């Protein structure tokens, strides 16, 4: 059996598909699994031993469809379910497909404060696409395989803090990060991409003996290795949060305009009895204001992050 999985972005969403990959490989005899994604995310999948081939979107969807038709797949799992993947499926006539439930209506109801019913975690919704073959979730959580790589010398004990996030409303502002570092006696290793470099440099300049700024300096695999060596992981709602979950780290995640009720919280193996610590500002009734995020607070106050209790976060972090 030859199966194609479609998930073009982003880091966290792709990591969250790994239970589907692993469970199929373990439970379907002689299955061959291919995964189609964008070129910038290819590295997330290349080291995964459960994936036989990674195919990247080069150019148009039509060009990709030509390549995929030559593979003669027995089935397609659409774990993205957007316009691009619908177009791609239409260009592969005769190939059965299964599409995951996005639960956009339920997310909209949560944003509009018309319901408090949380979404089912996306991992379970991904797993539904393979139930027809008798594949069941094995309880082992997420996978992230990183290639052996060198990282800068770091203290023997540290907290990895993923300060990034695609949208500004998912990130603690610089002043709150500084307050949090000041309130703790831990050594923090700041992780993020080049967009987070200026904030990282500023925080490191304030606390030169207790902060190592790695933002924009590491590959994703290097960042994963830093997370693997951390005592604890502090994170926003971002892709590195899901990598930390895959590496089964102790996680404290800080939530701004989004909410774990969207079904995208840290997902740990069933055997892990101590779940992640989820921190959300109390009494901020305008959140969640979006299922994704904004470049700035729509109301201008950014209370979902500015009203985070630094003292409470520091206390929780120390207790972990």
Domain CATH code at residue 292: 3.40.50.2000
Is 70 a domain residue?
yes
H-state helical runs in the chain: 11-15, 18-27, 42-46, 61-69, 83-90, 104-111, 122-127, 174-183, 197-206, 220-228, 239-246, 303-306, 310-319
Q: Is residue 145 part of a domain?
A: no
Domain-embedded: residue 36:
yes
Specify whether 314 is located in the same domain as 169. yes
pLDDT of 274 reads: 86
pLDDT tens digits for range 48-102? 999 999 999 999 999 999 999 999 999 999 999 999 999 999 999 999 999 999 9
Residues 240 and 253: their CA atoms lie apart, in Å, by: 11
DSSP state of 53: E
Predicted TM-score of the model (pTM)? 0.97
Work out the average pLDDT over 95-123: 97
Say whether both 74 and 182 belong to one domain.
no
Domain that holds residue 87: 2-133
Q: Are residues 167 and 307 in the same domain?
A: yes
Q: Is residue 150 part of a domain?
A: no
Same domain, 38 and 85: yes
pLDDT given at position 125 = 98
- Same domain? 169 vs 21: no
Last residue of a domain, one of 98, 133, 168: 133
Asked if residue 270 and residue 174 are part of one domain, the reply reads yes
Q: Are residues 175 and 297 in the same domain?
A: yes
Q: What is the pLDDT of residue 273?
A: 82
Sequence-distant (≥ 6) Cβ neighbours of residue 112 within 8 angstroms: none
Of 171, 152, 175, give the one whose Cα is nearest residue 163: 171
C-alpha distances in Å from residue 293, one per residue of 39, 166, 201, 252, 260 = 24, 8, 24, 20, 13
Q: How many independent structural domains does the chain possess? A: 2
At 275-316, the pLDDT tens digits run 899 999 989 999 999 999 999 999 999 999 999 999 999 999
User: Within this chain, do residues 40 and 94 fall inside the same structural domain, yes or no?
Assistant: yes
């Amino acid at each position: 059996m030859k199966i194609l999985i479609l998930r073009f972005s982003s880091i966290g969403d792709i990591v969250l598909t790994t239970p589907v990959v692993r469970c199929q490989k373990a439970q379907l005899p002689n299955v061959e699994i291919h995964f189609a994604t964008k070129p910038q995310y290819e590295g997330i999948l290349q080291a995964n031993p459960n994936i036989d081939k990674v195919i990247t979107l080069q150019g148009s969807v039509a060009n990709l469809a030509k390549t995929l038709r030559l593979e003669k797949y027995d089935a397609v799992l659409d774990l993205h379910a957007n316009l691009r993947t619908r177009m791609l499926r239409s260009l592969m006539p005769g190939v059965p497909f299964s599409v995951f439930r996005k639960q956009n209506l339920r997310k909209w109801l949560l944003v509009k404060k018309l319901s408090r019913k949380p979404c089912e975690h996306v991992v379970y919704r991904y797993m539904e696409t393979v139930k027809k073959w008798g594949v069941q979730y094995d309880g082992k959580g997420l996978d992230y395989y990183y290639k052996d790589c060198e990282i800068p010398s770091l203290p023997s004990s540290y907290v990895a803090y993923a300060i990034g996030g695609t949208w500004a409303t998912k990130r603690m502002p610089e002043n709150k990060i500084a307050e949090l570092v000041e309130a703790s006696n831990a050594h923090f290793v700041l992780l993020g991409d080049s967009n987070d470099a200026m904030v990282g440099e500023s925080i490191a300049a304030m606390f030169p003996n207790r902060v190592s700024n790695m933002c924009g300096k590491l590959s994703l695999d290097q960042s994963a290795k830093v997370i693997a060596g951390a005592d604890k992981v502090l994170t926003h709602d971002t892709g590195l949060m899901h990598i930390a979950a895959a590496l089964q780290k102790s996680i404290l995640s800080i939530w701004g305009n989004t909410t774990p009720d969207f079904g995208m919280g840290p997902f740990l193996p069933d055997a892990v009895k101590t779940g992640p610590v989820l921190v959300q500002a109390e009494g901020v009734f305008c959140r969640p204001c979006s299922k994704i995020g904004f470049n700035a607070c729509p109301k201008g106050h950014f209370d979902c992050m500015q009203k985070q209790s630094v003292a409470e976060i520091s206390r929780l972090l120390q207790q972990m």
